[in-house]
Amino acid sequence: MIFNNLKNDTGFYIPMYNKLGFKSYVTPRLLGDIKLDYHTYLLEPTTEIDLTSSFFSRHVSFYVDGKPHFLNGNSESQQTDKIDVELGLLYQKVTRHNKKFQLDVTTFVPLDALMESNVITYQNTTSKTQRLKVIVATPLYGRSADNLRDHRHVTSLLNRVEVLENCVVLNPTLSFDERGHKKNELNYGVYASSPQLSVEGYYPSLEDYVKNGSLQFPKGLDSLVQTGDYVEGKEALGGISFKTIEVKSQEVITLYFNLGINHSKEQLISTFNKYSQSKTIAIAFEEVKTYFTKEVSKLQFHMKNLEYSEKLNYIPIQPILRRFQGNSYLPHHDYGKGGRGWRDLWQDLISMIMYNDSECRSLLLNNFAGVRIDGSNATIIGDKAGEFLADRNNIVRVWSDHAAWPLLTTKMYIDETGDLSFLLETQTYFDDQFTHYTKKTKTKKSTNHQLKIQNDTIYGTVLEHLILQNVVAINNVGSNGFVRLEDADWNDGLDMASKKGETIAFTHFYINNLLVLAELIQKLETPKIELFESLTKLILNKNYSLDIFFDDVHDFTDNKVSIDKEILASELTKKATLVLKQINKYAFMREGGLQSYIDNDGNFLDSSSTLSLTGQTMALLNQTLSKTQAKKVSNVTKKHLFDRMIGGYRLNSNYQDVKMNMGRAYGFAYGTKENGAVFSHMSLMYAYGLYQYNFVKQGREAYQTLVNQAFKDKSVVCLGIPEYFNNEGIGKYLYLTGSATWLLKLLRTEVFGIELSFGTLRLNPKLSKDDFIDSIAVIKTYVHNKPLQVTYHNPKKLEYGDYRIASIQMNGKEVINEFQSIEGDLEVYLDEIV
Ligand code: G1P
């Protein structure tokens, strides 16, 4: 994507990473940090606030005829620089022009090296010869993000900084952690070389370079040292100064500026040297583009118009980015210490399923090892498979929606693959000190987080894990009969109503889940299902309460018992019907909209003048409403929550109150994040629900308003869609949002009608007239592990509702709309309904 003459770059950045774990992000001002993980930052960790004016990043000064100019453009004379930016998969190219020079910088992370490459060219664009001096002065941070404030000075005392040819390397003695210091093994380095410039000397110490001045106006320029110099106990600077040279009119100077981390100093240096050759860099750059383009090619669309399609086709990189970046490493996503949350884990798998990723099955199975025997789950999942933690910051919470998502993802996997046998795979249960939905603790816990009876590890089928999660959740109801909110649900901000709070929204989800489980159980060939005894009691025995269940599994000793699958399915259906009655009786408001929550005082959150989108979304998404009810819900929701100017459906009305009896969300300014912003994730799931009821016009309006907002320059969303839009329609929290998955799922399943059920594909397009370009709309996707292109032809320009599939051709032959296997691309011809 090219942004010429970018006027507002605040909020622009692009994440970069490679599979070795190297992560970085960069803004058009070359700000942003670089790290391997939370404890190994090469450049000082940055958040949103640091992205406009910091010098503690990729700082390079260009003295032109004695006057300083900066790579980040923060000198006075550069304030009117013209900036052109190209963002791609995954790189940034910036061109900065002014009356004196043009600076071009290409930044990317090679696929196979623990470093970031920046190729900088300086061109004298005047008609006169200039005297140019270049000084790279990039502070090396080299430690944990914790030390940004905690022991900042003490950790600088650990620093050992070495000056080598063309680079400065920081190798702290220890990795500081008061719970147990570790010997530091990592080397953090800054490298610079140029075919035209020769090194004058180095500045390894920040203090000596700045010397009562600043990084902009250093007063220690005379503190230059040479190769072999060594500094201890000071903040490190990747300071490399080049001799002044004369640059003729139009002449170009190139600078290779690399930033890297490595366990081995020798490897760090050899990597730096390797990436100081223009040929190597050019090859590596092409490899990066090819690799990430291939990643997104797994799901591509041709619809509406070419520009729209181009922008849309960047979105498949978002779920991939989230998988590798977690939620901790971008300027807005600055929470936690790496790892991903339980909910996000399952959401990200949805896109992997759509991409037919070969790792899906094992990752899915692996995730079930995070379920506790009481139906709750570990909440933070580390980078490695099977790494689960109770929570970040060791605060234990139960999110009432957590148990709902695994079934949605698993059902999708089964529908895509037909792999019903997956349900009978076995997996362990997560064990730590927590029992009773984390309300109590036990003294006896296993050492490896796997539940055991004496020394025997307990296994249960995937189906058992799923039944356990959903049956416990739907039995865990408050005094109004809806699922207890616990410490929050999907909305992380509803975290202050754990006593009396209830989530009507997710009650819909669990109702549907019981019905889905019943369907799955009936499809299985085996006549009997094995479950552990307490779980069967919870399902079959009316007098057996959840409290007794929690007591019984506290010190788990259960045997397995078999239940007839018909009885099991019918009990689950009965329970779902019962709870749905409760919704129908109490959850509807006057105009036909739904209540979403009950607060900590036991009162419904909404009045007739307010509404929350979550309840409406979950009802539609889980199809718990009749068509008439759904129609009313959609009308009321539009009336209360639709705001065309900022991206469509807001998350809630303005309660004009901090609502201490609901959660922190309502402490946020109205129109931001979980308090009434256009929150993409929920808006898109809402649009999905509308499509499921075939309310295509409203569904299309819901998602297109959001996508169009993201694609407007005004929203400052560089690529993809953001987590939310604020009151000004500005997109926030770029790239790492679960909403990207939902947009892709919406387009693939509902709009383009790639509908799979137990492995069988039936096309069911819900494309609108305006979704076609010259009467054609195309999706490229994977089905049954094979690439598939489906081209819809709509020569009569018919609107959704007026067309039917008249014929489908595969390899030139007419085929019927039911595919157990895919042997070629599909040409689908639409015609009037006769
Ligand atoms: C984020 C979190 C997601 C949570 C949501 C609402 O959404 O990742 O788990 O449910 O906030 O609190 P996202 O950034 O994925 O759009």
Measured in degrees and rounded to the nearest 5, phi and psi for residue 67 equal -95, 135
Interval between CA 674 and ligand 1 midpoint (Å): 9
Probe residue for ligand 1, chosen from 344, 494, 614, 685 as the CB with the greatest number of ligand atoms within 8 Å: 344
Q: What is the CATH number of domain 2-296?
A: 2.70.98.40
pLDDT value for 10: 84
Q: Same CATH fold, 752-832 and 2-296? A: no
Decide if pLDDT at 757 tops 90.
Answer: yes
Give, using CA atoms, the residue closest to atom 6 of ligand 1: 491
CA distance 416 to 354: 8
Residue nearest to atom 16 of ligand 1 (CA): 737
pTM to 2 decimal places: 0.96
Atom from ligand 1 closest to the CA of residue 491: 12
pLDDT at 392 over 70: no
> First and final CA of the chain: distance in angstroms?
44
In this predicted structure, the answer to whether residue 384 has a pLDDT above a threshold of 70 is: no
Q: How far is the CA of 110 from the centre of ligand 1 (A)?
A: 30
Ligand 1 centroid, distance to 501 Cα (angstroms): 20
If you measure from the C-alpha of residue 737 to the centroid of ligand 1, how many angstroms do you get, rounded to a whole number? 7
Q: Where are the alpha helices (DSSP H) in 60-170?
A: 152-156
Nearest-angstrom CA–CA distance, 371 and 377: 4
Is the pLDDT reported for residue 380 higher than 90? Answer: no
Q: How far, in Å, is the centroid of ligand 1 from the Cα of 671?
A: 16
What pLDDT, on a 0 to 100 scale, did the predictor assign at position 255? Answer: 98
* pLDDT given at position 80: 95
The model's pLDDT over 429-443, given as tens digits with 9 standing for 90+, comes to 999 999 999 999 998
- Give the pLDDT confidence score for residue 383 in this predicted structure: 65
Please report which confidence band the pLDDT of residue 50 belongs to, taking 50, 70 and 90 as the band edges: confident
Q: Give 330 Cα–ligand 1 centroid separation in angstroms.
A: 15
pLDDT value at residue 205: 98
What is the model's pLDDT at position 368? 96
pLDDT at 792: 98
Q: What is the pLDDT of residues 677-688, one digit of tens each?
A: 999 999 999 999
Mean pLDDT (the chain, rounded): 95
Residues 6 or more apart from 570 whose CB is under 8 A from it? 518
Burial category of 450 from C-beta neighbours within 10 Å (exposed 0-12, middle 13-18, buried 19 and up): middle
Give residue-wise pLDDT tens across range 777-830: 999 999 999 999 999 999 999 999 999 999 999 999 999 999 999 999 999 999
CB 368 within 8 A of CB 345: no
What residue segments make up the domains of the chain, in order of their start? 2-296, 359-587, 752-832
Q: Tell me, in angstroms, the distance from the centre of ligand 1 to residue 832's CA.
A: 42
Q: At residue 386, does pLDDT exceed 80?
A: no
- Two structure tokens written together for 639: 């009336």
pLDDT for 382 beyond 80:
no
- Rounded to the nearest angstrom, the distance between the alpha carbon of 738 and the centre of ligand 1 is 6
> Which atom of ligand 1 lies nearest, measured to the CA of 680?
16
pLDDT at 834: 85
- What pLDDT is attached to residue 335? 82
pLDDT tens-digit map of 352-362 = 999 999 999 99
**Whose alpha carbon is nearest atom 14 of ligand 1?**
737
Q: What is the pLDDT of residues 532-551, one digit of tens each?
A: 999 999 999 999 999 999 99
Of all residues in the chain, what percent carry a pLDDT higher than 70? 99
For the segment 11-23, the average pLDDT, to the nearest whole number, is 95
Which of 681, 723, 745 best tests ligand 1's pocket when mutated (most atoms within 8 Å of CB)?
Answer: 681
What pLDDT does residue 586 have?
96
Tell me the average pLDDT across 17-44.
96
**Which atom of ligand 1 is least distant from the CA of 488?**
12
Higher pLDDT, 326 or 540: 540
The closest-lying atom of ligand 1 relative to the alpha carbon of residue 490 is 10
The pLDDT confidence band at residue 385, using thresholds 50, 70 and 90, is low
What's the confidence (pLDDT) of residue 649?
98
CATH class of 359-587: mainly alpha
Give the model's pLDDT for residue 64: 98
DSSP summary character for residue 425:
-
pLDDT at 390 over 90: no
User: Which atom of ligand 1 is closest in space to residue 739's alpha carbon?
Assistant: 16
The rounded Å distance from CA 734 to ligand 1 centre is 12
Could you give the CA distance from residue 430 to residue 539 in angstroms, rounded to a whole number?
A: 22
The count of C-alpha atoms lying within 13 angstroms of the C-alpha of 169, restricted to the half-sphere facing its C-beta, is: 24
340-354 confidence digits (pLDDT tens): 889 999 999 999 999
Q: How confident is the model at residue 608 (pLDDT cuts 50, 70, 90)?
A: confident
Atom of ligand 1 nearest to the CA of 493: 12
**Residue 502 CA to ligand 1 centre (angstroms):** 20
Q: CB-side exposure of 145: number of CA atoms within 13 Å?
A: 17
825: its two tokens? 């691309």
Under 8 Å between Cβ of 649 and 678: yes
Give the pLDDT of residue 48.
87
**In the chain, count of helices (H) and strands (E)?**
19, 47
What CATH architecture applies to the domain 752-832?
Sandwich (2.60)
Question: In angstroms, what is the span from residue 723 Cα to ligand 1's centroid?
Answer: 7
Q: Put the strands of the sheet holding 300-302 in their side by side order.
A: 300-302, 776-783, 786-793, 826-832, 803-810, 813-815
pLDDT number for residue 308: 97
Q: Per-residue confidence at 374, pLDDT binned at 50, 70, 90?
A: very high
pLDDT in tens, 177-233: 887 889 999 999 999 999 999 999 999 999 999 999 999 999 999 999 999 999 999
The average pLDDT across 101-127 equals 98
Residue 272 has pLDDT above 90, yes or no: yes
Pocket perturbation via mutation, ligand 1, pick of 492, 618, 679, 735 by most ligand atoms within 8 A of CB? 492
Confidence of residue 336 (pLDDT cuts 50, 70, 90): confident
The set of protein residues with a Cβ atom below 6 angstroms from ligand 1 is 341, 343-344, 490-493, 674, 680-681, 723, 733, 737-739
Which of 686, 737, 742, 744 to mutate for ligand 1's pocket (most ligand atoms within 8 Å of CB)? 737
Name which residue sits closest to atom 10 of ligand 1, judged by CA. Answer: 490
DSSP assignment of 1-65 equals -EETT-S--TT--EEEE-TTS-EEEE-TTS---EESSTT-BSS----GGGTTT--SSS-EEEEET
Distance 349 CA to ligand 1 centre (A): 15
Structure tokens, 771: 């979704």
Distance CA 247, CA 229 (A): 30
* Per-residue pLDDT tens digits for 492-516: 999 999 999 999 999 999 999 999 9
Query: Quick one: tokens of 172?
Result: 């702290």
